Amino acid sequence: MKYIVANWKSNKTTEESLDWLNNIKIKLSQINPKNISNLEIIVAPPVVFLPLMKKIIEENSLPIKLASQDVSPYGFGPYTGAVASFMLEGLADYAIIGHSERRKLFLEDDQILEKKVKLAVEAKLRPIYCVQDAQTYIPQKVDIVAYEPIYAIGTGQPDSPENANKVAGQVKQKKDIHILYGGSVTEANIGNYLCCSYIDGALIGGASLDADNFWEIIINASTN
Ligand code: PGA
């Protein structure tokens, strides 16, 4: 099983997100579902789009799982602006936690991220925990890690498959978990990562925003 995760970050209007999903829905209807049964396709839209997307996915039985891009380090209570994990229970299956943009722009450290992981797991969200190198601390309850070197994110300068595989191997030596690679993954290079022995999937930002591009990523990933 390979994990293909689309991280839209803070992009798209409601209309654009519905267009994207509709486009993917049409493409899914044109293939044999068995062709992509080796993939876990996960989409992480901005949190406000989750309910509507969940409804469409369920109504059409689409083979797509949803993820939140983040969760609050707190539960219910006086935390203005925060979305608690418990609010996402039943709405998303996964939660991206510790993305380097959260660490850098929102000053999230290991302690905060550990709290987020704990609450996400309590709310039955499976964390996809982002690390920047093999040394980054990984909380105990995490079983999917995305290796995303900062220089490769949104730059068009991905890490080499050889190095990404080496880092994935180093992380796996410490902990038996699934490792995704993220950072300038495209439809053109995804195959180079998925054929690496230690890499179990990809986290895709920019190239996931366009449904046609993302579909090509899915098709290329399904043959690996
Ligand atoms: P990118 O982003 O694919 O645009 O490089 C990846 C990520 O930040 O998750």
pLDDT per residue as tens digits for the range 55-100: 999 999 999 999 999 999 999 999 999 999 999 999 999 999 999 9
pLDDT per residue as tens digits for the range 111-126: 999 999 999 999 999 9
Mean pLDDT by 10 residues, the chain (224 residues): 98 98 98 96 98 98 98 98 97 98 97 98 98 96 97 97 98 94 98 98 98 98 91
Angle at which helices 50-59 and 14-29 cross, to 10° = 20
Q: What is the pLDDT of residue 224?
A: 78
What's the 205 CA to ligand 1 centre distance in angstroms? 4
Quote the CA–CA distance of 26 and 178 in Å, as a whole number.
30
Residues within 6 Å of ligand 1 by CB: 7, 148, 153-154, 182-185, 203-207
* 216 noted as active-site residue: no
Q: What is the pLDDT of residue 222?
A: 96
* Nearest CA owner, ligand 1 atom 9: 205
Q: What is the pLDDT of residue 60?
A: 97
For the entire predicted model, the pTM comes to 0.97
* 89 noted as active-site residue: no
Quote the CA–CA distance of 17 and 145 in Å, as a whole number.
26
What's the 63 CA to ligand 1 centre distance in angstroms? 22
How far from the centroid of its chain's Cα atoms is residue 139's Cα?
A: 17
